[in-house]
Amino acid sequence: MLRKNKILFLIVTFGLIFLLPLIGSLSKWKGLPPGYGDFPAQKVEADPGFSLLYFSLACIVALVITLILVFPRWFGFKKIKEEPAPKDGATPFPVWFWWSLPVLAVSWFLMWARVKLVISLEYYTFVPLWWSFILILDGLVYKRNKGASIISRKPHLMQLLAVVSCFSWFAFEFLNFFVIENWYYPNDKVFSGFGNVFWFSLSYTTVLPAIFEWYLLLKTFSAFRNRYKNGPKFNVSRTFLILYYVLGLILAFGMGYYPYVLFWVLWVALVPMLSAAMALAGFWTPFTPVKNGDWSSVILIGLATLFNGFFWEFWNFGSEWFHDSLPTNPNYWKYSVPYLDKIHIFSEMPVLGYFGYLFFGLNCWIIWLIAAYIFKFNADIDVTGDQS
């Protein structure tokens, strides 16, 4: 397949991600779904109630995933002999690490404290909070990698990550309409309509940079880096990839037609379609090393997103939980999840929902790679010379 045809195939597949749920939704509702076009998304319809069957099945899946992550040797992963790290002189934290600490502290304080004297400043805390956190993570990577991090080695990459992050999260917001708003933003009156678009555009730039900084940080720990490197080899045939691709097409349409039963497809439909399309076209994906038994790319990006998800949910929860009568955080979100909305621990997200972050990280990496292949920029996020 010529490169031009490969790129066209990726573009068409990416387009189907948005077209097929729309077609399914039009078929379901005989028109556009409830709430379509509201920005930011609002709760427009009550979800089906709790389902013990659905919840039990989800718990089984969550248990299997947990066992694989915690006890990988039960599933065919072999321990790798770790080489002792060279004892060089300690690398100091970079200057941006120290500058970011007070920014994060002030932003966090203002977001949660509701100081009446500066109440309007609380509208604008999300972006400085998250960009300072990203720079702190980068500083940790810098120190542990002996001076190698995205900011120090590939600052242009951070800019590209921010741009792709912004557009990719708008894509998820669009897909959210077809599952009848799994998440929504009740504080939509803090800004005007244009203000919401402008502010949320800035906010969306933080998603991919945060996830990839966590990924690079986890790779600096041998316990994470080597834990999933020597596992079962899984080399798939072209027939399997085609079936996997077709499954993605079916799920994408089904998500629009059965928005409650298949709401989870929002997080995993991108993987069957886009990763299979990339593999069929001969491009590298996070699944490529799995054929040699190296699952670290797939699992570490999931764990990175899960760890970052804790901070997403923690800071979001605290920004409104103690002050429901005075909404000031326009970024504050709540969930409207069918069947599974049970057990919340300092979070708007139900506990089972955290497992969705494992898949969301893969989706983000795949979108990042597709953007790189289409627009011809280097997508390698590694800063040490190893294969990412």
DSSP 290-335: GGGT--HHHHHHHHHHHHHHHHHHHHHHHHHHT-TTS---TT--EE
Indicate if the pLDDT at residue 47 is higher than 90: no
Q: What is d(CA 93, CA 141) in angstroms, rounded to the nearest whole number?
A: 9
Q: What is d(CA 327, CA 321) in angstroms, rounded to the nearest whole number?
A: 10
pLDDT recorded at residue 346 = 75
- Contact between 129 and 315 (Cβ < 8 Å): yes
Task: Tokens 């990719």: give the residue.
Answer: 168
Indicate if the pLDDT at residue 88 is higher than 70: no
- Which residues are registered as beta bridge partners of 339? 50
pLDDT per residue over 156-208, tens digit each?
999 999 999 999 999 999 999 999 999 999 999 999 999 999 999 999 999 99
pLDDT per residue over 337-374, tens digit each?
899 888 887 788 888 999 999 999 999 999 999 999 99
Indicate if the pLDDT at residue 325 is higher than 80: no
Give Cα 275 distance to the centre of its chain.
15
CB burial class (10 A; 0-12, 13-18, 19+) of residue 357?
buried
Structure tokens at 212: 């990839």
Beta strands in 221-345 (DSSP E): 334-335
Indicate if the pLDDT at residue 282 is higher than 80: yes
* Preceding omega of 338 cis (within 30 degrees of 0): no
CA angle 227, 306, 288 (to 5 degrees): 50
Indicate if the pLDDT at residue 43 is higher than 60: yes
Indicate if the pLDDT at residue 388 is higher than 60: no
Q: How many CA atoms lie within 13 A of 210 on its CB side?
A: 23
pLDDT cut 70: percent of the chain above it: 96
pLDDT recorded at residue 81 = 76
User: Mean per-residue pLDDT for 136-156?
Assistant: 95
Helices 296-321 and 95-113, packing angle to 10 deg: 40
* Cα dihedral sign, 3-8-9-13: positive
Indicate if the pLDDT at residue 324 is higher than 70: no
Q: What is d(CA 260, CA 119) in angstroms, rounded to the nearest whole number?
A: 38
Structure tokens at 325: 């009568």
Q: Which of 86-90, 129-133, 329-333 is the most confident on average? A: 129-133
Q: What is d(CA 329, CA 309) in angstroms, rounded to the nearest whole number?
A: 18
pLDDT recorded at residue 387 = 46
Q: What is d(CA 358, CA 295) in angstroms, rounded to the nearest whole number?
A: 13
Instruction: Give the DSSP letter string of 11-27.
Output: HHHHHHHHHHHHHHHHH
pLDDT band at 269 (very low <50, low <70, confident <90, very high): confident
pLDDT cut 90: percent of the chain above it: 78
pLDDT recorded at residue 246 = 94
Query: Would residue 343 be called left, alpha or beta, if left means φ above 0 and alpha means ψ between -120 and 50 degrees?
Result: left
pLDDT band at 113 (very low <50, low <70, confident <90, very high): confident
pLDDT recorded at residue 83 = 66
Structure tokens at 169: 């999260």
pLDDT recorded at residue 8 = 94
* Cα dihedral sign, 213-335-252-177: negative
- Least confident range from 91-95, 180-184, 381-385: namely 381-385
Q: What is d(CA 219, CA 233) in angstroms, rounded to the nearest whole number?
A: 21
- Least confident range from 79-83, 328-332, 374-378: namely 79-83
User: Mean per-residue pLDDT for 57-83?
Assistant: 91
pLDDT band at 287 (very low <50, low <70, confident <90, very high): very high
pLDDT band at 268 (very low <50, low <70, confident <90, very high): confident
Q: What is d(CA 320, CA 266) in angstroms, rounded to the nearest whole number?
A: 26
Query: CA of 26: how far to CAs of 32, 155, 246, 319, in Å?
Result: 6, 43, 21, 36
Give Cα 235 distance to the centre of its chain.
26
pLDDT per residue over 197-254, tens digit each?
999 999 999 999 999 999 999 999 988 989 999 999 988 899 999 999 999 999 999 9
Beta strands in 14-111 (DSSP E): none
How many secondary structure helices (H) and strands (E) does the chain include? 15, 2
Indicate if the pLDDT at residue 82 is higher than 80: no
